[in-house]
Chain A
């Protein structure tokens, strides 16, 4: 029967798929009784946070599961074929041919030792596509189709010579090589900058509509769903939470968890947080003409001076949050590190309490260290794995001259303040999740009673629902303690939610600076405009 009505049957059907995790994991199943259907030409988005099992689903479909993981029960049918009954040989013929995959990190997905042409050629050859000249013709066609400039020279380029966006275009070109019926894209844009992300999403949308190809898109970002999806399926801890058409899900999410995920994207720049009355607040920190450059070795002998930051002037008022917004490599982290003197400025001044911090040596700086603190990006790397949480929190206090008893009392109070259990004091960092570690990072920064805190991408390594909680905590602490905050981020949605004023930074230069609502609603600089428009889902926001 199934073969007779294959035309009506969905392209892909998954029935009660159950994948157990090896003993000792954080839960018993990566996926539990998951069922889904995907029609020809449809885009199904699978949304979930880390550990939801969404990547496991993709890997199960093309049978690239880790060795230790086996499918316990369930049924996967693709175009009338039972995929689980297929042998490795049959599977290999499907992979790359009728089912293609686009991975998250294009640099990891490409072989660094082969040029682009050879890599695409490999796929074509493996499936016996034409002769050499037909394949070359096809490669040029594909590169051109995915919007790469000058396909002739890109064909001979190596992955390291291309930008992140170009690499992802190459990966997409490879996936399209044999005109697949189903494209599985696992977080295809989350390793990219916002402006690049927007271009890639646009490309994927064009291709999908052009070829009427079915697509399974795996993402954590409802913004991406808004741009591309027809139907959404929300996964959490391996279980289906909710599914339905994109528009109704966005308008009327049924489940609390879905709502939480949606809220994270809703804090769009069109709705920045209400301005505080900061007009009369005194300026607490001011920089003038701050610049930093470094030498980069080029080849064996040549050295090139690279400017990371040029002529940066910012002011920070007491109690204010100043956002530093820009893409990777723009110099925003350099600015943060200069303020803390983790890097030395070539020129310019950092004025704090009428002292130029840039002129002090490390010894003179030490008594002032307590006033300016930092929250770091990577909660995995920012805590010493061999030190208990208590010791990490107390170290700064002891240096600033507290007695051990005072320091311990303060550390315990801080743990409570950031919402961690008291027994965290004697435990090591590896006992905590990413979100909890970031709370510890915040506690450590606050331990020494700072007046200014620099937060460098402090939520970008976290899942959106965790992100929201950390941001709320930060905001709450800031109000209570009267902190001034410098918030460095690439995520305009986060900046819009938290910052009173923003400075937009591009290629080491601050291109625009002003109140958040003004900058995001009426961007004066073309780059700011590009950034705002590049936010996924932006074009489909209801203009309220």
Chain B
């Protein structure tokens, strides 16, 4: 069976996840193509202010109090949300998997030390830490990513560690040790591929949380000041909730759908991979 066909079959078994994947793919494409589709700047004042949605074809979702096009804003907002989401997930996995693997494989005092550090970060309230960090470091995309990573890595590390603790006792890992493979080889080739399923699932939740945290930070005015973002758009609309409901509705909907899509996709991946992992001949 070709990979394409088997992908189609898996998609058929998990329709919600397939739709979610298509949604995220479409959103990413739109975000990437935003400058060509909707012009160079989401900040440009292009029409009359507070234009309701569906009243002018050129501005399908309406405009805000300064006459900025909301559809353009949404697409540019998707750029920062997805960028922050992807970058912080990547960084979180890198640190989390690395620390978890080293701690779980070695055990002993290395494990104890790394886990105490992880626990230190876990007891701090996540959003509070992010707010403080971003305000100390100057609001920018990289500081937002850093803040999100810093609060998210411990849970990944703890998960990977526990996977490693059980897997390193498994006979195929012992067999690898007996055959003389080095610790790095065993971690990368033998254990990690078997620990990836739960990590992938957590990665999905990290991404969803990252998108929400980014929105929250920019709502609080702590996002990248040069980038349009969904959180900023909601913040800008909060005084006009009764006069221009659409200003808050669209970005709110965007956040809701994106986070939902990430969660659905993760859920689908988990059950698809779980089935594959649990398949045995006898």
Contacts and interface: CB of A to CB of B under 8 A. Distances in A.
Interface of A: 26, 50-51, 340, 342, 365-367, 369-370, 372-374, 376-378, 380-387, 392, 395-396, 399-400, 430-434, 441, 444, 447-448
B185 A383 contact: no
Given A369-B178, A384-B194, A385-B277, A399 B185 contact: yes
A431 B279 CA distance: 9
A373 B178 contact: yes
B171 A381 contact: yes
Interface in B186-206: 189-190, 193-194
A381 B189 contact: no
Contact of B171 (A367, A377, A386): A377
Given A374-B178, A385-B194, A434-B282, 11 more contacts: A342-B178, A369-B180, A374-B174, A376-B171, A376-B174, A384-B190, A384-B193, A399-B182, A430-B279, A430-B281, A441-B175
Contacts of A382: 171-172, 175
B179 interface: yes
B180 A366 contact: yes
A378 B171 CA distance: 8
B170 interface: yes
Contacts of A377: 171
Contacts of B182: 366, 399
A384 to B, nearest CB: 4
Interface in B115-171: 170-171
Nearest to A375: B175
Contacts of A444: 175, 179
A381 to B, nearest CB: 5
Contacts of B279: 430
Nearest to B170: A381
B178 A395 contact: no
B5 interface: no
A382 B170 CA distance: 7
Nearest to B179: A396
A395 B277 contact: no
A340 B279 CA distance: 31
A26 B279 CA distance: 13
Contacts of A366: 180, 182
A324 to B, nearest CB: 17
A381 B173 CA distance: 9
B254 interface: no
Contacts of B172: 381-384, 392
Contacts of A378: 171
25 contacts: A26-B282, A51-B282, A342-B174, A366-B180, A369-B179, A373-B178, A374-B174, A374-B178, A376-B171, A376-B175, A381-B172, A386-B193, A387-B189, A392-B172, A395-B181, A396-B180, A399-B179, A399-B182, A399-B185, A400-B180, A433-B281, A433-B282, A434-B282, A441-B175, A448-B179
B242 interface: no
B9 interface: no
Contacts of B176: 384, 395
A396 B190 CA distance: 12
Contacts of B179: 369-370, 373, 395-396, 399-400, 444, 447-448
Interface of B: 170-172, 174-182, 185, 189-190, 193-194, 277, 279-282
B233 to A, nearest CB: 44
Q: 8 smallest A-B Cβ distances: which pairs?
A: A396-B179, A369-B180, A382-B171, A376-B171, A386-B193, A384-B172, A366-B180, A399-B180
Contacts of B181: 395-396, 399
Contacts of B177: 342
B66 to A, nearest CB: 55
A513 B194 CA distance: 42
A340 B171 CA distance: 13
Given A373-B178, A432-B281, A433-B282, A395 B171 contact: no
Nearest to B279: A430
A26 B177 CA distance: 35
Contacts of B189: 387, 395
B175 A370 contact: no
B180 A370 contact: yes
A392 B281 CA distance: 18
Contacts of A367: 180
A444 B171 CA distance: 13
Contacts of B185: 399
Contacts of B281: 430-433
B145 to A, nearest CB: 31
A430 B180 contact: no
Contacts of A51: 282
A374 B175 contact: yes
A492 B175 CA distance: 26
Contacts of A433: 281-282
A404 to B, nearest CB: 14
A236 to B, nearest CB: 16
A143 to B, nearest CB: 37
Contacts of A447: 179
Contacts of B194: 384-386
B126 to A, nearest CB: 31
Contacts of A441: 175
A342 B185 CA distance: 17
A370 B171 CA distance: 17
A4 B178 CA distance: 70
A434 B282 CA distance: 8
A430 B181 CA distance: 23
A488 to B, nearest CB: 14
Contacts of A370: 179-180
A395 B188 CA distance: 13
A389 to B, nearest CB: 12
B82 to A, nearest CB: 30
B248 to A, nearest CB: 47
Nearest to B191: A384
Nearest to B192: A386
Contacts of A381: 170-172
B178 A380 contact: no
A349 to B, nearest CB: 20
B203 to A, nearest CB: 18
A432 B279 CA distance: 11
Nearest to A337: B174
A367 B182 CA distance: 12
Nearest to A340: B178
Contacts of A369: 178-180
A524 B212 CA distance: 74
Contacts of A386: 193-194
Nearest to A385: B194
Nearest to A454: B178
A448 B181 CA distance: 12
B99 to A, nearest CB: 22
